[in-house]
Amino acid sequence: MRKFQSSDTALLVNLFYETVHTVNAKDYSIKQLDAWAPEDEKELKIAYWEEALSQNQSQLAKRRGILLVNFKMVKKLRSLF
């Protein structure tokens, strides 16, 4: 695991899109998949995800330094005291 870098954002958005449209293709219609992960929103998602991932504790994992296999974001909590 390593800390998220802004340059990772497009890769993460593409991972999300490809996962939705590949892994879930057997269970959902094209219309449902496009509603869940529309291709024409990728650029908007990149800007939004970059901000969200930068503001939280975000990490990702790569296999053999090339293939992204997982990512996580843990939201920072404000102290109540």
CB neighbour list of residue 25: distance below 8 Å, 6 or more residues apart: 33
pLDDT of residue 13: 92
In 1-81, which residue ranges form alpha helices assigned H by DSSP?
9-23, 30-36, 42-55
> Tens digit of pLDDT for each residue in 34-81?
999 999 999 999 999 999 889 888 888 877 776 566 777 787 666 555
pTM, rounded to two decimals: 0.78
Q: Which domains does the chain have, with CATH numbers?
A: 2-74 (3.40.630.30)
What number is the average pLDDT over the span 2-28? 92
Q: What is the pLDDT of residue 73?
A: 76
Q: What is the mean pLDDT of residues 4-26?
A: 92
pLDDT of residue 21: 96
